Amino acid sequence: MNTLSTNPISSSHPGYILTIICPDCPGIVFAVSQFLYEQQCNIVDSAQYTDHFSGRFFMRIHFEQIEKPLQLTLVEENFSNIQNRFQMDAKFYDLQQKPRVLIMVSKFGHCLNDLLFRTKTGSLPIEIAGIGSNHHDFNDLAKSYQIPYHYFAITSANDGRKNDVEQQLLDLIDKEKIDLVVLARYMQILSPKLCEALAGKVINIHHSFLPSFKGAKPYLQAHQRGVKLIGATAHYVTTDLDEGPIIEQEVSRVNHSMTPDQLTAIGRDVESMALARAIQWQAEHRILLNGKSTVIFQ
């Protein structure tokens, strides 16, 4: 939808995003479109969805300012009347501000390495503010990308320190203004307290289609069961272990002739692809929570 204007629209700014969740009713799209027109904004693209089971309406609008940079705080204030009228959970985002991400990893570095490369080459719109781990294995990799590396001394042998270590993690997240924590094969279970403190801000990659083949050797289990598809699931972390809202799933077809090592290699590629897409959609504000599920505007 384009507003009529004799002034050229600047392409130097990537634009802004408005996301909306509210009870479904007539007039929402008209009210929002008219508001953006009155703010001298041009709608680049728009997507919407109504969940007839819950009666909720979801919308994502990518828009830009026609003549000059937008004062987003002022726009949010002006939007409050519409927000209250339709009982909206509405959020505005500036796409020029990339989310600051903390990547957590243990001893498997394929997802970490993939995310570092994608970010470095500009294909992933995030800023990696730090890498955290309960091991020292990827310190040199972090240095090669000039990214701070944070060691958290926690193992299954010293669970008594878990509360202290998790508080250190929370302090780091607060200090570095982290927007998103990514568990890139971080093999430690987050406590309910930490999950609640970071609700909606932690994405995990699980090495299977949930809930199949949980545990330390999923691809050996898959080989023993003769599976025909290798899968991976990216999901939000909640207090229910591996049961948070699913963001993305990826698969690859396999057969009986493949060894567990071959399945592992295929699985690592699948995990990397699913996690990267989930993070990209998060960074572009394409994911809206719908109870225990997600609405994703691609």
**Residue 105, phi then psi, degrees to nearest 5:** -145, 155
| Kind and range of the H or E run holding 21 | strand 16-23
Residue ranges of alpha helices (H) inside the chain are 28-38, 72-85, 110-120, 139-144, 162-175, 192-197, 218-225, 260-283
Kindly state the DSSP code that residue 78 receives in the 8-state scheme: H
> Long-range contacts made by residues 225-232, C-beta under 8 angstroms, separation at least 24?
226/256, 227/254, 228/253, 228/254, 228/255, 229/253, 229/254, 230/254, 230/263, 230/266, 230/267, 230/270, 231/270, 232/205, 232/206, 232/207, 232/208, 232/267, 232/270, 232/271, 232/273, 232/274, 232/275
User: Of 24, 137, 242, 269, which one is the catalytic site residue?
Assistant: 242
- Say whether 242 is catalytic: yes
Cβ-contact 105, 185 below 8 angstroms: yes
Catalytic residues: 242
